[in-house]
Structure 1
Amino acid sequence: MLKIGEFSKLSRISIRMLRHYDEIGLLTPETIDPFTGYRYYSASQLSDAGRITALKDMGFKLCDAAELLKRWEDRALLEQRLLDQRQSVCLQAEEAVQRLRLLDTALERLRKDEPMKYDVTVKTIPERQVASVRQIIPCYQQEGELWNILMRETVPLHVQDGDPVLCCATFHDKEYKETDVDVEVHKTVRGNYPDTEHVKFRTVPQVLVASAVCKGSYALMDEVNAAVASWVEANGYAFDGPMFNIYHVSPHETNDPNEFVTEVCYPVRRK
């Protein structure tokens, strides 16, 4: 039998943490001396200690680790839980990358010590034929899934791009939503084609918009929106329909957010 100090050295888990594991029933000593209260562990418990440490390092909570230890021989369950945790960690990594981009953008702006200026223009976007996918998606960040559907289902049809080709995303909700957002992506095309399971071919009417071009990360979108809103208010216009983005340079063309070029468009009318 191993004293708690010896077990601590071999398992590389502090005595304080071993006592905590004991309190929550995660890793209890093999025996406790009823007179001295000393905790004794068996050498075979080192494997469980190693598994607990590995699960913690992979981001599992202690309660989850306890469940997995009890069902360690259920390989199918273990594999599924590992896959679920991997997906969760990937999402956290993406969020961390986004936060780093926001911090880098803020630092760059701070060091330049000057506000970005966005030129707002009013123009008419003419009527156009488009291939469109509109769905309720979990969040705005998953817009790319709609583009994947659009490309996957139009490739077999040998769809010809419009001239000019505009790739747009329209946000149909009347308010900002944290979940279950109504988003439509569409791309201008030439010719007539049959609808597919998710892609609808339709005509988008001409529209008068107030627009501004954002060059750089999507983290700048809030400032562009504010610039357009201020211009609309100051120049006697009113908003007149759901806003949309035109992606001139998007993640489809580059992995560098600093190279993105997005035109933010708000349909407007004269008051």
Structure 2
Amino acid sequence: MFRIGEFSKLSQVSVRMLRHYDKIDLLVPEKIDEFTGYRYYSVMQLITINRIQELKRMGLSLNTIKEILKNYSDDQSLKNYLKLKKSEIEENMKEMQNQICMIENSIKRLEEESIMKYNVNVKDMPARKVASLRMVIPSYPEEGKLWVMLRSEIAPQNPKFVSQSYRTAIYHDKEYKEDNPDVEIQMAVEGDYKDTENVKFVDIDAMKVASVMMKGGYEQIGEVNATVVNWIENSNYEFAGEMFSIYHVGPAETDKDEELVTEICFPIKER
């Protein structure tokens, strides 16, 4: 079971929105402590919240999503519903082409045997020295400016980046935040350098991680997180630190979502 802040971070949905979903009976916590009032959510509810967010991105209202979850609980019936919706949009609204594409992608995913289509691997990450920059930014798309700032501040020292530089992003907020996220970026370097105004050079200990290689857009992160949590539940490991992302092919290399390659990592330790 997860408290609301943990569930928020794993699902990439704000605490404010989760409370609203509870209020309208769209997603009610599995348990509410009668003494503390704390809300607790289950692993299976990560799957439900991912479906809710996906249907929202298709442009469906919360009331409509509530009816879909009630009346189209299995994949086949939901697939049939989405096909009808696709035909309706094609006939009436050319300007909704993006939503049509999302529905087509959803139908393809529903035809797979399981949404848990990502492979979880256990790997050891070596100890390393990194150039680190941590800052609260207006929104997640602004993260690119941090990378520009990091590179420009350390450029006069001619840093040597390791062959596998581990371009890493860590999101430090205890819950998912729609605005003003606390983001840290890191690049692995060789040698000794002086800290700058915003960049610190720090040593990172070796660690064991549960890793998922994700190809494509970042809207998949909720499903990846659900996959890792489900894997942890059935393994001999437990979480041992904040999740982070490694950019193998990031927005700096391509402007096409389908070409992005991101490794989602969760530090772990044996139970």
Q: With structure 1 as the length reference, what TM-score do the two structures score?
A: 0.59
CA shift at 1:106, angstroms? 4.5
CA shift at 1:258, angstroms? 0.3
| Counterpart in the other structure of 1:190 | 190
Relative distance call for 1:226 and 1:192 in structure 2 (3 A) is: same
Distance 1:100 1:127 in 2: 47
SS in 2 for 1:143: helix
| Structure of greater Rg | 1
SS in 1 for 2:252: coil
CA shift at 1:151, angstroms? 1.5
Relative distance call for 1:106 and 1:212 in structure 2 (3 A) is: farther
SS in 2 for 1:192: coil
| Counterpart in the other structure of 2:107 | 110
Distance 2:100 2:183 in 1: 27
| Counterpart in the other structure of 1:212 | 212
Distance 2:194 2:100 in 1: 46
| Counterpart in the other structure of 2:224 | 224
| Counterpart in the other structure of 1:266 | 266
> 1:1-271 maps to which residues of 2 (within 5 A)?
104-111=101-108, 113-114=111-112, 115=114, 117-271=117-271
Distance 1:100 1:169 in 2: 32
SS in 2 for 1:177: coil
CA deviations on 1:198-253 (whole Å, 9 max, x unpaired) are 11111111111111010111111111111111101111322111110000000111
Distance 2:213 2:150 in 1: 25
User: 1:211 touches 1:266 (CA, 8 Å); kept in 2?
Assistant: yes
SS in 1 for 2:220: helix
Distance 1:105 1:241 in 2: 33
CA shift at 1:129, angstroms? 0.9
Distance 1:151 1:176 in 2: 27
CA deviations on 1:99-135 (whole Å, 9 max, x unpaired) are 9767634422414622551110111111011111001
Distance 1:193 1:255 in 2: 32
Distance 2:180 2:148 in 1: 18
Deviates more, 1:167-176 or 1:105-114: 105-114
SS in 2 for 1:255: coil
Relative distance call for 1:197 and 1:258 in structure 2 (3 A) is: same
CA deviations on 1:137-189 (whole Å, 9 max, x unpaired) are 22323221211211111222211111322100011122222233221000111
SS in 1 for 2:119: coil
CA deviations on 1:44-92 (whole Å, 9 max, x unpaired) are xxxxxxxxxxxxxxxxxxxxxxxxxxxxxxxxxxxxxxxxxxxxxxxxx
Relative contact order, higher structure (CA 8 A, sep 6+): 2
State the one-letter code of the partner of 2:264: V
Distance 1:103 1:208 in 2: 41
User: 1:162 touches 1:189 (CA, 8 Å); kept in 2?
Assistant: yes
Structure 2: which 5+ runs fail to align? 1-95
Relative distance call for 1:270 and 1:192 in structure 2 (3 A) is: same
CA RMSD in angstroms, aligned pairs only: 2.0
Number of aligned positions between the proteins: 173
Relative distance call for 1:149 and 1:118 in structure 2 (3 A) is: same
Relative distance call for 1:118 and 1:100 in structure 2 (3 A) is: farther
Distance 2:118 2:221 in 1: 11
| Counterpart in the other structure of 2:66 | none
Structure 1: which 5+ runs fail to align? 1-98
Distance 1:218 1:100 in 2: 20
Distance 1:184 1:190 in 2: 20
| Counterpart in the other structure of 2:14 | none
User: 1:173 touches 1:242 (CA, 8 Å); kept in 2?
Assistant: no
SS in 1 for 2:187: strand
Relative distance call for 1:218 and 1:106 in structure 2 (3 A) is: farther
State the one-letter code of the partner of 2:150: L
Q: With structure 2 as the length reference, what TM-score do the two structures score?
A: 0.59
CA shift at 1:262, angstroms? 0.4
The alignment-based identity, stated in percent, is: 42
